[in-house]
């Protein structure tokens, strides 16, 4: 996957649900294609397969479970994701936290199912800690900023330390940054500070014109490279 990456988390926002979710994913695809910038989407869990069948850009699951396929009613099975060409999965989002051992098991299952893993962490030390488990990427999101109007990039020192922490944990794990990242210049700042990707949600999903917002971000990224 070409870097840097803009990863849009649809959460369970009604604006990104069902048919509106497909439109949103297609908007991301348009922008990605027009500006040759890598935009990935993490649709609502129930929409994941549907959207993976409708777009060419990378699709991530919002979560996977670790129980062995079979007697696991109501669990999210990594191998199904692979069958439909899903690229990866978020893990341990602050809204869907899991045990430390489960994180390690999920990374292992995801590797077996050929899925990339992006593990979320709320602090600098947690970012380094999960990076040691060798996921594809770690996204540092201070929980107090998630969903709010203050971008994590207004605290450049935190972003730099997070990037360093992830790289210290494992030099091959990509440092992502998130929380309050809503505008093109936030994305720009994150990349300038060393992040290889940004994790965003409401800034795009709840925008009156998500394609416009993503376009602005893509133009900035184009310049960055």
- Closest contact distance (angstroms) between CB of 90 and a copy of itself is 7
63 is annotated as an active-site residue = no
Spatial separation of the C-alpha atoms in residues 195 and 189, rounded to whole Å: 9
Contact yes or no for 26/57 (Cβ under 8 A):
no
Spatial separation of the C-alpha atoms in residues 83 and 67, rounded to whole Å: 18
The residue among 34 and 144 lying less far from a copy of itself, judged by its C-beta, is 144
93 is annotated as an active-site residue = yes
- Least Cα distance to 162 among 181, 182, 183, 185 occurs for 181
- Closest contact distance (angstroms) between CB of 11 and a copy of itself is 5
- Closest contact distance (angstroms) between CB of 220 and a copy of itself is 25
The residue among 4 and 169 lying less far from a copy of itself, judged by its C-beta, is 169
Give the side-chain half-sphere CA count within 13 A for 103.
26
Residues in contact with a copy of itself by the rule CB under 8 A = 9, 11-14, 17-19, 42, 44-50, 53, 61-63, 67, 69-77, 79-81, 83-84, 90, 92-104, 121-123, 125-126, 128-130, 132-134, 143, 146-147, 169, 201
CB neighbours of 156 closer than 8 A, spacing ≥ 6?
189, 193
The residue among 62 and 215 lying less far from a copy of itself, judged by its C-beta, is 62
- Closest contact distance (angstroms) between CB of 132 and a copy of itself is 5
Q: State the catalytic residue, choosing from 141, 164, 186, 216.
A: 141
The residue among 30 and 80 lying less far from a copy of itself, judged by its C-beta, is 80
Residue 40 DSSP code: E
Spatial separation of the C-alpha atoms in residues 86 and 98, rounded to whole Å: 21
Contact yes or no for 183/151 (Cβ under 8 A):
yes
Q: State the catalytic residue, choosing from 93, 95, 104, 216.
A: 93
Annotated active-site positions, please? 93, 141
């Amino acid at each position: 996957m070409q870097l840097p990456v803009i990863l849009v988390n649809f959460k369970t926002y009604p604006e990104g649900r069902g048919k509106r979710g497909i439109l949103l994913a297609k908007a991301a695809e348009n922008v990605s294609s027009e500006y040759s910038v890598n935009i990935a989407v993490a649709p609502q869990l129930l929409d994941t397969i549907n959207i993976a069948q409708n777009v060419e850009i990378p699709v991530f699951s919002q979560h996977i479970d670790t129980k062995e396929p079979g007697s696991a009613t109501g669990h999210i099975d990594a191998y199904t994701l692979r069958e439909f060409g899903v690229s990866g999965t978020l893990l341990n989002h602050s809204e869907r936290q899991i045990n430390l051992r489960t994180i390690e098991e999920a990374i292992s299952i995801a590797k077996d199912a050929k899925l990339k893993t992006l593990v979320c962490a709320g602090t600098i030390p947690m970012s380094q800690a999960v990076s040691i488990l060798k996921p594809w990427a770690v996204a540092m999101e201070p929980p107090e900023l998630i969903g709010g109007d203050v971008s994590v990039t207004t605290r450049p020192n935190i972003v730099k330390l997070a990037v360093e922490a992830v790289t210290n944990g494992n030099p091959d794990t990509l440092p992502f940054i998130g929380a309050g990242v809503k505008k093109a210049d936030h994305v720009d700042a994150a990349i300038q500070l060393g992040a290889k990707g940004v994790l965003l949600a409401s800034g795009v999903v709840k925008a009156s014109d998500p394609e416009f917002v993503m376009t602005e971000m893509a133009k900035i990224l184009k310049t960055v490279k």
